[in-house]
Amino acid sequence: YNTVMRIWARKGCLNRIDRLFSMLEPAGLRPNLDSYAVALECMGRNQSPPKAIWRYLQHLNSNGFHVDELFQKCLFEADEKEMVLWAVRTVQPSYQLPPPPSPQICKSSLLQDFYSRETMVSYPKLDFSVKELQECFQQQLEMELKNTITIESVEAAKPLTLQAVKARELLATLRSQWHNAILQALQNSKRSMARPKKLSKYSVLYPYLCLLPDEEYVDIMLQVLNDLSPQGESLAILARELGSKVYDRYIIQRKLRSCQLEKVQEIYEKYIQLLAKDSQPKQYLPREYWEKLVAEAGFGPSLNLKNCSWPCVLLMRLGMHMLELLVKSVKVPRNILNRRLESRPIPVLYHVYSFYSNWQVGLVKPHPIFSQLVANAAETTLTFNSSAMPMLCPPLPWTSPRFGAFVLNDTKLMRFMDETIHHQLLLEQCPLVNLHPVLDALNQLGNCAWKINQPVLDIIISIFNDKGDEKLDIPPPLSEAPKPPTAPGHSSTWSKSLKHELFLCKKKTAEMHSLRMDALYKLSIANYVRDKVFWFPHNMDFRGRTYPCPPYFNHLGNDVTRAILLFAEGRPLGPRGLDWLKIHLINLTGLKKKNALQERLEYANEIMEDILDSADHPLTGRKWWMDTDEPWQTLACCMEIAKASRSPDPAAYISHFPVHQDGSCNGLQHYAALGRDLSGAASVNLVPCGLPQDVYSAVAQQVEEFRKKDAERGLKIAQVLQGFISRKVVKQTVMTVVYGVTRYGGRLQIEKRLKEIEEFPEEYLWEASHYLVKQVFNSIKEMFSATRNIQNWLTESAKLIAQSGRTVEWVTPLGLPIIQPYYRSRSTVMPACTLRRGAGQGVTGQWQLPWKPDTVKQKNAFPPNFIHSLDSTHMMLTALHCLRKGLTFVSVHDCYWTHALTVDVMNQVCRQQFVALHSEKILQDLSEFMLEKYCRGCTGEQRRVCLKRLMEQLSNVPRTGEFNLKQVMDSTYFFS
């Protein structure tokens, strides 16, 4: 109703709004604030007589609303707020807008000091002037307005052959023809949909095909065609991508039409006063300062758009229709590469069916002729959505679940699967003040400025263009793919082994193409921003774990990506900075994991010759760096150490290099702290000790003791395993036990490790892995008794909640509401899409709709998800308190990064916040929350009986041990 009224309001149709209002109550509906806001806006726009306006205001009061609430709770676009105010003042000339509400302060016990005005300090300044940040904002805005950006590929520009020149000319001609053909097909389709007598299943799409200029739809379809890999893509994924691209452009158009951009520009110009080095210091957080500026701006559109998200089904249906137009209209002459063939046109795209488990999935593939033409053209540009690129200015601060990050691109605060809306509803129902800590932590992470380590990038690009190097994680080009064997005759005559060999070649080629393109995207984006400073806006998943929004190139990437990133801000090394660089280097090599920090430092000093040689002659020297765990980050660190050690005063050397501190089996640390498990805490470095404890080696040793006893009793498999039980064999299983790995999954992990041992007899693989996974679980149960008790309590609680028909929810210690998105699904057939290669061939796909809670997934996922939420809480607490101390801080989940100068300070803050977090009554609070949500207040005898067992389970919180959390403060190896 409100949507229809809003359309009529813009057209000034007050009579229709009156009629619709009169229909609400007979229909059992009650007008809400938005309904009155729309009606009053229309009256203001029409300058209606006071009597009519007065009638609506009286109706508003009789329904329990107050005029002030219109301006406090409603969202407005363009000049809607001014029109409502004009209408109100027509009958109440002295009416004044309500003052902005007083800023609410988060009351979390964990952040009392952080939000205390007495301890407030100025926000850290960036090394930019106001003018420079304004220029950065304009560059970012231009990129987002274009919606896509085309950049040069880093692949070596080979001398243009005559074949490439002809192929590029031919492609340009074809693309022009395809553009016209798609445009014609789109217009014909829209005309057909607009005919009232010729309704079809796609008629509902007509309004969505009129939101943008026709040319933009054509551009979207051509972009998807150009990006399609030779191996093809899932029909559902392509349809979703097409629908989403239309939605993204519509959102930008809506923000422009609603005048939101002008307001954002106006506020951003003032907001950067908080960040710029040449402005007056302000004692505000970015979110607080932005909210203050918005309140002062008064009129104009709301920056939170009214809810306009499109359902997944709509996106899919729109994408399927566009894909159908693309397939029908884009053709290529069959003889374009071989003049001896007939010249009839054939579709550029065709479809095949593939089976995944019991699912039949449609795939869309380009015709080999098109793929060959693209390969011959060897084009050297790549096109990305602007949201895939790092930001060229500081991100807009998150102020609510619907506003933050990019200037125009639509970004969700919380990532979740498209068919589930529960997370968004939870966030919107949550009091905004409860989300302040999470929003402020995301803003802190997103405001870290970055730059490119150009010398390392250049070396990586040179190897990338010189056939790659799989050992160094630089994927080779497809020219290096294994050549398939010659297959004579028809496929029906091929032997089974030949078919298998051809399949493996095809699979390897597809994998190589995927890895090569992934590396190409990352390196090309890095090369594009090589001379720029850039930012990564952040959001989070449903557990609260944070991620950079740009998907390809960011600091969560692999060793190659991390090696080419530097902090844009430089800081002097100080008295201990060079030592931390050297310790960090040895940590990256993986050579001295069991040694004390001082021993790692001494070892670095012993091999300085190799370090300097690696820095000076990375590709022609001894190449020591190549044989390490993280070779590219090792090389980057060698170069930094060389520059620092050769400077006149290493302590004064300005370093931009990020030093990492990686959690020591982080999940088990949280379990040990939750259960106050003394032996478990000692195993994961929560207590002071001379050497780092290695929980993986400890478990391997315990398993070996079990094996010896069984071997002495004559157990054959225990005898066979003599000499084969090592840290490497058990590490992955120990690491993932805390994240819910089952015995079946653990057995597969161990079997894979045993396969890597050439001497191990293959006939014993199954029996040995089955035996070992049992012993690993027994060892962990013995070493971490409190951990297993807590894990079992969480698992059983989740099982009973899911069996009662509810999904598992909880709230983190920072106030973030969480719900697990696991449901039993029913198959739904996608709207048929007649993608025809020949007569009678239609394509359908399938997707999942949420239904009842999936008991197995809800049960198995709760322990790891709960620990992940604690892990993210600890990271956010550390980020916020590092901000108060003026540190540069970013994280890769449980791996924390800062300058070498501030490693010691960050270590101290991290330990303090771990102790503070686990000093809270985490399990008791969880129990109380779940009892309140799932058990209390339930009605009906049957329901009470069903929930009695759940109430008993939730009330029986596991007992804790004697571990003293304060010992964490003196732990040397809290980080590994």
pLDDT tens column, 889-921: 999 988 999 999 999 999 999 999 999 999 999
Q: What integer pLDDT is reported at residue 841 of this predicted model?
A: 33
Query: Phi and psi (nearest 5°) for 661?
Result: -125, 115
Q: What integer pLDDT is reported at residue 845 of this predicted model?
A: 37
CA distances from 684 to 57, 665, 689, 692, 773 (A): 65, 6, 11, 9, 21
- Pull the structure tokens for residue 504: 């493996």
Look-up: residue for tokens 């939000």? 115
Query: Phi and psi (nearest 5°) for 452?
Result: -95, 140
Q: What integer pLDDT is reported at residue 8 of this predicted model?
A: 61
Residue by residue, DSSP assigns 89-151 as HHH-TT--PPPPPPPP----GGGTTTT-GGG--PPPPPS--HHHHHHHHHHHHHHHHHSEEEE
The pTM for the full model equals: 0.89
The half-sphere exposure of 511 on its side-chain side, counting CA atoms within 13 A, is 9
Give the residue range(s) of CATH 1.10.287.280 domains in the chain.
571-655
Q: Cβ of 713: how many Cβ atoms within 10 Å?
A: 8
Q: What integer pLDDT is reported at residue 335 of this predicted model?
A: 79
Mean per-residue pLDDT, 276-291: 86
pLDDT level of residue 365 (50, 70, 90 thresholds): confident
pLDDT level of residue 827 (50, 70, 90 thresholds): very low
Q: What integer pLDDT is reported at residue 4 of this predicted model?
A: 61
> Span 678-783: which CATH code?
1.10.150.20
Residue 677 has pLDDT above 70, yes or no: yes
Pairing of strands 359-366, 233-234: antiparallel
pLDDT level of residue 593 (50, 70, 90 thresholds): confident
List own/partner pairs for 901-904 with CB under 8 A and 24 or more apart. Answer: 901/571, 901/572, 901/573, 901/574, 901/577, 901/655, 902/571, 903/576, 903/577, 903/580, 903/659, 903/661, 904/576, 904/580
Residue 396 has pLDDT above 90, yes or no: yes
Is the Cβ–Cβ distance between 538 and 413 less than 8 Å?
Answer: no
Is the Cβ–Cβ distance between 708 and 669 less than 8 Å?
Answer: no
Nearest CA to 243 out of 324, 185, 303 is that of: 324
Q: What integer pLDDT is reported at residue 570 of this predicted model?
A: 94
List, in sequence order, every residue forming a beta bridge with 817; answer none if it has no partner.
811
CA distances from 398 to 402, 539, 733, 838, 884 (A): 8, 9, 38, 51, 18
Q: What integer pLDDT is reported at residue 72 of this predicted model?
A: 84
pLDDT level of residue 101 (50, 70, 90 thresholds): confident
529 or 421, higher pLDDT? 529
User: What distance in Å separates the CA atoms of residue 769 and residue 751, rounded to the nearest whole number?
Assistant: 5
Q: What integer pLDDT is reported at residue 11 of this predicted model?
A: 62
Q: Cβ of 770: how many Cβ atoms within 10 Å?
A: 16
Alpha helices in 195-310 (DSSP H): 214-227, 235-257, 260-271, 286-297
Q: Which of 250-254, 495-499, 635-639, 914-918 has the lowest mean pLDDT?
A: 495-499
Mean per-residue pLDDT, 184-195: 87
Q: Which of 4-13, 188-197, 519-528, 577-586 has the lowest mean pLDDT?
A: 4-13
Nearest CA to 976 out of 570, 740, 639, 683 is that of: 683
Residue 159 has pLDDT above 80, yes or no: no
pLDDT level of residue 839 (50, 70, 90 thresholds): very low
| Residue 796, burial from CB neighbour count under 10 angstroms (0-12, 13-18, 19+) | middle
User: What distance in Å separates the CA atoms of residue 365 and residue 361, rounded to the nearest whole number?
Assistant: 13
Q: What integer pLDDT is reported at residue 446 of this predicted model?
A: 95
934 or 548, higher pLDDT? 548
Mean per-residue pLDDT, 433-455: 95
Mean per-residue pLDDT, 712-716: 90
Residue 836 has pLDDT above 90, yes or no: no
| Residue 594, burial from CB neighbour count under 10 angstroms (0-12, 13-18, 19+) | exposed
Q: Spot the catalytic one: 18, 662, 904, 925.
A: 662
Q: What integer pLDDT is reported at residue 847 of this predicted model?
A: 37
CA 976 to chain CA centroid, Å, is 26
Q: Spot the catalytic one: 579, 694, 871, 894.
A: 894
Q: Which of 18-32, 203-217, 729-743 has the lowest mean pLDDT?
A: 18-32
Identify the sign of the CA torsion 911, 914, 916, 919: negative
Q: What integer pLDDT is reported at residue 915 of this predicted model?
A: 94
For residue 45, the surrounding DSSP H or E stretch is: helix 33-46
Q: What integer pLDDT is reported at residue 353 of this predicted model?
A: 73
Mean pLDDT of the chain: 86
Active site residue 894: yes
Q: In this structure, which topology does domain 571-655 adopt according to CATH?
A: Helix Hairpins (1.10.287)
Q: Cβ of 102: how many Cβ atoms within 10 Å?
A: 6
Overall size of the chain counted in residues: 976
pLDDT tens-digit series, residues 509-540: 888 888 999 999 999 999 999 999 999 999 99
Q: What integer pLDDT is reported at residue 594 of this predicted model?
A: 83
Is the Cβ–Cβ distance between 345 and 332 less than 8 Å?
Answer: yes
Q: What percent of the chain has pLDDT over 70?
A: 91
Mean per-residue pLDDT, 837-841: 33
CA distances from 592 to 19, 589, 601, 956 (A): 79, 8, 10, 43
pLDDT tens-digit series, residues 602-612: 999 999 999 99
Give the residue range(s) of CATH 1.10.150.20 domains in the chain.
678-783
The half-sphere exposure of 888 on its side-chain side, counting CA atoms within 13 A, is 24
Residue 195 has pLDDT above 80, yes or no: no
Residue by residue, DSSP assigns 353-371 as EEEETTEEEEEEEE-HHHH
- Pull the structure tokens for residue 786: 């409190």
List, in sequence order, every residue forming a beta bridge with 539; answer none if it has no partner.
547
The angle at the Cα of 806, spanning 817 to 793, to the nearest 5 degrees, equals 75
Active site residue 781: no
Q: What integer pLDDT is reported at residue 420 of this predicted model?
A: 66
User: What distance in Å separates the CA atoms of residue 61 and residue 31, rounded to the nearest whole number?
Assistant: 12
Angle between helices 454-464 and 496-528 (to 10 degrees): 150
pLDDT level of residue 9 (50, 70, 90 thresholds): low
Q: What integer pLDDT is reported at residue 650 of this predicted model?
A: 94
Nearest CA to 58 out of 5, 27, 29, 21 is that of: 21
Residues 164-187 as b/e (b if ≥16 CB within 10 A, e otherwise) read beebbebbeebeeebbebbbebbe
Integer-rounded Cα radius of gyration of the chain:
31
pLDDT level of residue 829 (50, 70, 90 thresholds): very low
Q: What integer pLDDT is reported at residue 110 of this predicted model?
A: 92
Q: What percent of the chain has pLDDT over 90?
A: 43
Active site residue 662: yes
Q: Which of 517-526, 743-752, 824-833 has the lowest mean pLDDT?
A: 824-833
User: What distance in Å separates the CA atoms of residue 696 and residue 699, rounded to the nearest whole number?
Assistant: 5
Is the Cβ–Cβ distance between 294 and 287 less than 8 Å?
Answer: no
| Residues contacting residue 192 through CB under 8 Å, at least 6 positions apart | 198, 200
User: What distance in Å separates the CA atoms of residue 324 and residue 473, rounded to the nearest whole number?
Assistant: 39
Three-state SS string over 506-541 comes to HHHHHHHHHHHHHHHHHHHHHHHCCCCCEECCEEEC
Mean per-residue pLDDT, 344-348: 87
Mean per-residue pLDDT, 713-718: 90
Q: Which of 99-108, 183-192, 235-244, 742-751 has the lowest mean pLDDT?
A: 99-108
Mean per-residue pLDDT, 159-176: 87
List, in sequence order, every residue forming a beta bridge with 354; answer none if it has no partner.
361
Q: What integer pLDDT is reported at residue 264 of this predicted model?
A: 93
User: What distance in Å separates the CA atoms of residue 285 and residue 268, rounded to the nearest whole number?
Assistant: 14
Q: Which of 370-384, 494-508, 550-564, 758-772 has the lowest mean pLDDT?
A: 494-508
DSSP helix/strand/coil, 220? helix
Q: Cβ of 479: how many Cβ atoms within 10 Å?
A: 7
pLDDT level of residue 943 (50, 70, 90 thresholds): low
Is the Cβ–Cβ distance between 539 and 414 less than 8 Å?
Answer: yes
Per-range mean pLDDT, top range of 21-25, 63-67, 362-366, 599-603: 599-603
Residue 425 has pLDDT above 90, yes or no: no
DSSP state for residue 349 in the 8-state scheme: E
Residue 356 has pLDDT above 70, yes or no: no
Q: Spot the catalytic one: 81, 522, 731, 799.
A: 731
Looking at this protein, which amino acid is placed at residue 523? L
pLDDT level of residue 832 (50, 70, 90 thresholds): very low
Mean per-residue pLDDT, 295-302: 81
Is the Cβ–Cβ distance between 918 and 930 less than 8 Å?
Answer: no
Q: What integer pLDDT is reported at residue 697 of this predicted model?
A: 85
Per-range mean pLDDT, top range of 184-198, 226-240, 565-579: 565-579
Mean per-residue pLDDT, 466-474: 91
User: What distance in Å separates the CA atoms of residue 72 and residue 241, rounded to the nearest whole number?
Assistant: 37
| Cα-based torsion angle of the residue sequence 377, 378, 380, 384 in order, rounded to the nearest 10 degrees | 80
Q: What integer pLDDT is reported at residue 202 of this predicted model?
A: 61
Angle between helices 14-24 and 33-46 (to 10 degrees): 160
Nearest CA to 224 out of 411, 333, 388, 385 is that of: 385
Mean per-residue pLDDT, 549-560: 94
pLDDT level of residue 496 (50, 70, 90 thresholds): confident
Mean per-residue pLDDT, 266-284: 88
Looking at this protein, which amino acid is placed at residue 56? Y
Q: What integer pLDDT is reported at residue 482 of this predicted model?
A: 81
